[in-house]
Amino acid sequence: MTTHTPLLSVRDLRVEVGERTVLESISLDIRPGELVVLMGSNGSGKSTLGLTLAGHPRYRVSAGSARFHGQDLLALKPEERARAGLFVSLQSPPDIPGVKNGLFLRSALNAIRESRGESQLDAFDFLKDARALAGELGLDAKLLSRPVNEGFSGGERKRNELLQLALLKPRLALLDEIDSGMDVDGVRAVVKQVQAMRAQGTAFVVVSHYLQLIESLTPDTVLRLDQGRIAETGTLALARDIARTGFVRQSEALEV
Ligand SMILES: Nc1ncnc2c1ncn2[C@@H]1O[C@H](COP(=O)(O)OP(=O)(O)OP(=O)(O)O)[C@@H](O)[C@H]1O
Ligand SMILES: [Mg+2]
């Protein structure tokens, strides 16, 4: 695959949730190493797009297509999508009581290593790597021996998502407000991790409401989602414009 071939190609995607059509028609292409920032007002459908691509059963695709790394993404089960190299970090990572974080991460990593034809990591080797990475990300390694997210602070949950990202090394990562609730060091860790992985060819879709993070990520493209469509495509200038004027754009405000 050349860097000119899209890694993810979404065409006219329509998504229904319950009785509602949340996404009307979404089209986007992302190439290896590209970083796309997805903006949009609360409730505009950003998380819906991520959860749909991840294969969440609540989100029904009623039209359109999505190809990922040469495969029909929508025909794959959620775990097959992950094995193909798709990673979606959740806006609100759930607790998984009774499942140790370290075991959860090792199982996920070994499933992905298996699909890449790599050897399985035993508990010892995994912990060595996970502790080192946790240290780099400013996450207390003790969180590896607790149940997933149970009692984690808001920022710890988000740093734990970042640890998953760093361990799993996906082809494409969609980060849904990974900066929300993180302290300044956490946000710096996000930028460092994302830029390092991007340099190795990982593509990113980053959902964020915060200009400071968006600027630090030096995106290739900034998209604004509205009424279930990509309403605007631009660069950092678009993000700055939104930060200045809000989501009620000048032209729309005048129509009212
Ligand atoms: N299970 C559901 N049942 C009913 N409506 C839903 C469901 N899931 C999402 N929605 C609706 O779909 C719309 C889009 O939600 P989504 O979470 O994708 O927005 P968002 O752009 O991520 O917003 P935010 O910036 O607040 O995170 C919202 O109006 C939401 O209420
Ligand atoms: Mg959201």
Mean pLDDT (whole number) for 97-126:
95
178 CA → ligand 1 middle, Å: 17
pLDDT score, position 105: 97
pTM of the model: 0.94
If pLDDT is split at 50, 70 and 90, which confidence band does 4 have? confident
> Do residues 80 and 124 lie in contact, with contact meaning Cβ atoms separated by under 8 Å?
no
Side chain identity at 231, as an amino acid letter? A
Q: Which atom of ligand 1 is nearest to the CA of 51?
A: 18
Query: What CA–CA distance (Å, rounded) separates 67 from 218?
Result: 26
Query: What CA–CA distance (Å, rounded) separates 86 from 169?
Result: 9
pLDDT score, position 1: 45
| Residue in the block written with tokens 């070994």 | 110
Q: Alpha helices of the chain — where are they, by DSSP H?
A: 46-54, 78-83, 101-115, 123-136, 154-168, 184-199, 211-216, 236-245, 250-255
Q: What is the pLDDT of residues 70-94, one digit of tens each?
A: 999 999 999 999 999 999 999 999 9
Would you call 84 helix, strand, or coil by DSSP?
A: coil
195 CB under 6 A from ligand 1? Answer: no
**42 has a pLDDT exceeding 80:** yes
Which residues have C-beta under 5 Å from ligand 2, the single-atom ion? 46-47, 91
pLDDT score, position 68: 98
19 CB under 6 A from ligand 1? Answer: no
| Residue in the block written with tokens 């929300």 | 180
Angle at 203 between CA 30 and CA 136, to 5 degrees: 165
Domains of the chain: 8-255 (3.40.50.300)
How far are the Cα atoms of 15, 45, 60, 228 from residue 20, in angstroms, in the given order?
9, 11, 10, 11
**171 has a pLDDT exceeding 50:** yes
Q: Which residue has a Cα nearest atom 8 of ligand 1?
A: 17
**123 has a pLDDT exceeding 80:** yes
For a pocket test of ligand 1, which of 21, 47, 52 has the largest count of ligand atoms closer than 8 A to its C-beta?
47
**2 has a pLDDT exceeding 50:** no
Q: Six-digit token pair at 186?
A: 């956490």
